[in-house]
Structure 1
Amino acid sequence: MTRGVLLDLAGVIYDGETAIPGGVDAVARLRQAGFAVRFVSNTTRSAKQRVLQRLEAMGLTLATADVFTPAQAAREWLLSNGRAPHLLIHPGLAPDFYELPDRDKRAVIVGDAGEAFTYAALNDAFRELEHGAELLALATNRTFRDSDGGLSLDAGPFVAALEFASLKRATVLGKPSSAFFLAALASMDCAPDQAIMVGDDAEADIAGALRAELSGALLVRTGKYRQGDEERFDPRPTATVADLAAAADWIIAHQD
């Protein structure tokens, strides 16, 4: 029996600053049907507070704990491992790393830095790795749907470049890390086999969730979805649907 639903944000709830039609109503219908809902996002261009404000402006009612981001996981990792951050991130994400203690040991944290992915910035990060820093990837998504409607490079290609140069393997803190999905489920006391993921990324959202042993994962044809994505990665989606509204219909119909 399905008890919990994990929802991606960008490409599922909204594109840029615009809500995808039917998405907010779909969330309300899932909640009314008795499902616990968590939002699990690999968004690394905005601090969590900004994400919450965006969702509230679109008409969603939610608590801070309802949204899980890789920056949260990175902050907790730094504190528990006694490391200070060397940040290669978008300026909009910086508030999530304020007021961390200074430490002798460091960790390079890579998010979607956008225009900040310069040779100098990448080389500085590489030199930190050469001097013993750990490599943390907030996400390894290949692409995202940009504000102009086209696909743009996400953080994944830059993480791969640093891995190649440093001969170090990044610790991935966001999707498709199983730990990320399981932490979100634990927050609502929901076992993986009682949960379904909804996302627009067949690799990070869908295959990642199924490898974390969720009972199902629905791929929506909004956001970054491209024709044939449902065949590109394994495990493959439980179902492919038009959008979040259709996903809610599917989940409610299959809740038993």
Structure 2
Amino acid sequence: MNETRPVRGVLLDLSGVLYVGDSALPGAVEAVHRLRASGLPLRFVTNTTRQPRTRIAHKLKAMGFPIAENEIFTPTHAALDYLQENGLRPHLLVHPDLRAEFAGVDTHAPNAVVLGDAAGDFNYDSLNAAFRLLMEGAQLLALGDNRYFLEPDGLSLDIGPFKTALEYAADVSARVLGKPAPAFFHQAAAALGCAPTETLMIGDDAATDVEGALRAGLQGLLVRTGKYRDGDEERIDAQEPLVQNDLPAAVEWILGGC
């Protein structure tokens, strides 16, 4: 059981755990400050692909969170590394605000499709263009596999449904570069200086955050905020997760000796 394992480093999801929209969740800023004061190393992992990391850091600072840009892990940077290491030229099906992150990357004669949360840029023409490249042999690289996320006005579709549609149509399997890919969790844990088994992932997404972390050998804690819905913890197959009502309760549990 997770309760018997020491926690020496903490990974935190952002949207739904620290904030929703442009508002910090109750007690979340103070909870992050408490973790800082405890001396536990922290990193912040997100599958958000509608904003570059600089803008995410600015948003967090405006809400009062003591988080530096280099503490934030996004799948965009994993994608950039993967493209360079494998000599791939991407066709970008991503949010317009994220395109600047790929400045300088060779996109001539694409041999890969990079799929992010393109929001309003998801339409028949954009999906069909990606489909045709996949049918010609391009790799499908997904920046995440989330089904949906919470916005101030309700739940919205995320990358996962569009990834599944392209996989089905082109009969391919995507390489996921963000959560729940084990390599993404392991990279973040390594940045903490911790082994995966010593690292606790806190998230509001039962599948992508918590089950993904558990399958990668980390500990997982699900909070009942953000996109959480009643019974989500029962859908986790990897092992029984830890569950707390919110981030302040999770921090209380951690600092109380786990």
Contact 2:17 2:25 in 1 (8 A): yes
Distance 2:108 2:216 in 1: 33
Aligned equivalent of 2:223: 220
Q: For structure 1, list consecutive stretches of 5 or more residues without a partner in the other structure.
A: none
Aligned equivalent of 2:15: 10
Distance 2:110 2:94 in 1: 19
Aligned equivalent of 1:181: 185
Residue among 108, 112, 122 paired with 1:117: 122
Distance 1:136 1:36 in 2: 30
Residue among 63, 66, 81 paired with 1:61: 66
Residue among 199, 205, 223 paired with 1:201: 205
* Identity within the alignment, %: 52
Aligned equivalent of 2:165: 161
- Structure 1 residue 241: Cα displacement: 1.0
- Structure 1 residue 80: Cα displacement: 0.9
Contact 1:44 1:90 in 2 (8 A): yes
Distance 1:70 1:102 in 2: 19
- Structure 1 residue 107: Cα displacement: 1.1
Deviations 1:212-246 (A, max 9, x none): 111x2111111000011110121255321111111
Contact 2:91 2:110 in 1 (8 A): no
Distance 1:46 1:125 in 2: 21
Q: Does 1:107 align with 2:112?
A: yes
Contact 1:206 1:236 in 2 (8 A): no
Contact 2:17 2:223 in 1 (8 A): yes
Residue among 85, 89, 101 paired with 1:84: 89
Greater shift, 37-46 or 51-60, is seen at 51-60
Q: For structure 2, list consecutive stretches of 5 or more residues without a partner in the other structure.
A: 1-5
SS in 2 for 1:187: helix
What is the 5 A alignment of 1:34-53?
34-53=39-58
* Matched residue type, 1:226: R
Aligned equivalent of 2:80: 75
SS in 2 for 1:135: strand
Contact 2:32 2:66 in 1 (8 A): no
Q: TM-score scaled by structure 2?
A: 0.94
Residue among 152, 156, 178 paired with 2:156: 152
RMSD value, Cα: 1.3
Deviations 1:59-89 (A, max 9, x none): 2233322000011101111111111111111
Residue among 229, 233, 240 paired with 1:230: 233
